[in-house]
Amino acid sequence: MENTWTLAAVAAVSRQDVFFALALAATLATVALLVVTLRLEQRRRHDPTARPDRRGAHADPRDPREALALVGDTLAATHNPKALLPVILRATAEATGAAAGRLIDAGEEISSVGAIPLGSEPLELELASPGEGQTTMLLYAPAGGFDAEAERLAVWLASQAAIALENARLHHVVQRQAVTDELTGLVNRRRFMSALGHEIGRATRTMPPSIILSDLDDFKRVNDRFGHPIGDELLQSFADALRAHVRDIDIPARLGGEEFAVLLPETSLEGARAVAERLQQFLATSPLLVGPGRDIRTTASFGVAQLVEGEPADTLLRRADAALYQAKADGKNTVVAAEITAA
């Protein structure tokens, strides 16, 4: 059973690492280009031998590269689209000389700068949407209005901001996929092991954590009789049951196949066993899937273990897995708690 987890986890992590690397590379490339552009511009500004442009001056004070650099710095610091939006608005308003600006997402204002001149009609710019609805940036012209150059600059900055927002959104999606089981929405083995390591690291200051390993009984029969789509629905329903029976601070996970786990911080062995028994009783009395002409019931076996002082994560998992194996050997549909022994 443990070898099955390992093989499934290696394959999943490999795919997730590839996706994560691609998204991260795209984001870093964008930021690198912005930083290089900014540095070249700064060097040119401070070089007394720099050639003036045809108007006999150096850069226009509305140089778009400064605005892009500001967005790039923020993109490097956070990949949250919502955090980028106010920066984009402020940078674009300053670069174009706008008197004011607003950001409207799904019909609601989410950010604003400056004071809107009375009777001013805004320049509307559509941005990539970080939420459910379209995001629109409204720029209000200063006295005398926008000239043609300022309008072109606003449109160009909006297009570059849309790229930055899309990079941030993709990074967020890939990052979430790297730690989330796609079918059930629970955390995956990789994230579970990370959280377990964190809890082990703080166990000396609090009550040690406990874990529950769970395996749906005779799951293969469900797939053979009803098909894999129904089997997937059953796994999703079991994941929902896990969420409903644990605390907000607990971390339910799908380790692979029909095998699940729950990390319970600061929880005694008796407390973890009580959670497992509640789940067992729920499954015994309630069908997980209800459909026309059929209700699908299932049971599960549970292995429970609490961390022993000085015990590494893999040893704790082996003890919980041994308890789960014993629950299967005892006839399934039962809970077995691992004995607490010295590390």
- pLDDT tens for each residue of 22-55: 444 544 444 444 444 434 444 444 444 444 333 3
Task: Return the pLDDT at 75.
Answer: 52
pLDDT tens-digit map of 141-180: 998 899 888 898 888 888 877 777 777 777 666 666 667 8
Claim: this prediction has a pTM higher than 0.75 = no
- φ/ψ of 256, rounded to 5, equals 145, 145
pLDDT at 108: 87
Q: Give yes or no for a contact between 104 and 133, defined as CB atoms under 8 angstroms apart.
A: no
Fold classification of 2-46+59-179 is Beta-Lactamase (3.30.450)
Burial class (CB in 10 A: 0-12, 13-18, 19+), 244: exposed
pLDDT in tens, 231-246: 999 999 999 999 999 9
Catalytic positions = 258
189-337: CATH, from 3.30.70.270, 3.40.50.300, 3.40.50.10490, 3.40.47.10:
3.30.70.270
- 3-14 per-position pLDDT tens digit: 444 434 434 444
- With a CB cutoff of 8 Å and minimum separation 6, the contacts of 258 are 215, 216, 219, 235
Please say whether the beta carbons of 5 and 255 come within 8 A.
yes
Q: What is the pLDDT of residue 33?
A: 43
- pLDDT at residue 37, as a whole number: 41
- What pLDDT is recorded for position 31? 44
Residue 135's SS3 state is strand
Q: Please, where in the chain does CATH 3.30.70.270 lie?
A: 189-337
Q: Which two tokens stand for residue 331?
A: 């006839």
Sequence ranges of the chain with CATH classification 3.30.450:
2-46+59-179
Q: Given this model, what pLDDT does residue 172 score?
A: 61
In the predicted model, residues of the chain with pLDDT beneath 70 are 1-81, 128-133, 171-178, 204-205, 292-293, 340-343
